[in-house]
Amino acid sequence: MVQFPPDPPFIYMMLVTLKKFGYPETLVKEYKHWRVLVRPKQVTLGSLILICREGVNNWSDISSKAFCELNQIIPEIETKIKELFSYEKINYLMLMMVDPEVHFHVIPRYSESKEFAGTVFKDAGWPVAPELDKVNEVNQEIFNKLTRLLKEKFNA
């Protein structure tokens, strides 16, 4: 069972958010100011979470160092996901309604279905906004394969 520290409260909330997104099992890569996680609910093949490690709830509150680090992370995400799955577009959604910490849902977009490990992944929202409530159901074995592949690619 995870033990949460009593103070400060933002650390507790961040741990809750990280656990909701499957951390630490879904961790793809850790940076100084950000973490990249595999999104447990795969809206499209290769959907990720990019979450700030600073525990802030407003985009304007991230440090300049965290902001600058995105110059490294975003091209890496786009290159690695493109090499793996050949997406056509990529969407970064910053919603922060249910999970208030600064984070993005990174959704690769595809005009046609994609296959991975014998499972077909669809992009229900193409060509408009992704439909976050229509996820591709994958069993734990397929999800683990996807997670391993992403970890290997990002840490090669």
Determine the Cα–Cα distance for residues 153 and 100; give it in Å rounded to an integer.
Answer: 29
What's the CATH superfamily of 9-154? HIT-like (3.30.428.10)
Could you tell me which of 1, 16, 52 has the C-alpha nearest to residue 31?
Answer: 52
In the DSSP assignment, the letter for residue 63 is -
The distance of Cα 88 from the centroid of its chain, to the nearest Å, equals: 18
The structural domains of the chain, with segments of one domain joined by +, span 9-154
pLDDT tens digits in sequence order for the chain, 156 residues long = 444 444 444 455 567 889 999 999 999 999 999 999 999 999 999 999 999 999 899 999 999 999 999 999 999 999 999 999 999 999 999 998 888 899 999 999 999 999 999 999 999 999 999 999 999 999 999 999 999 999 999 999
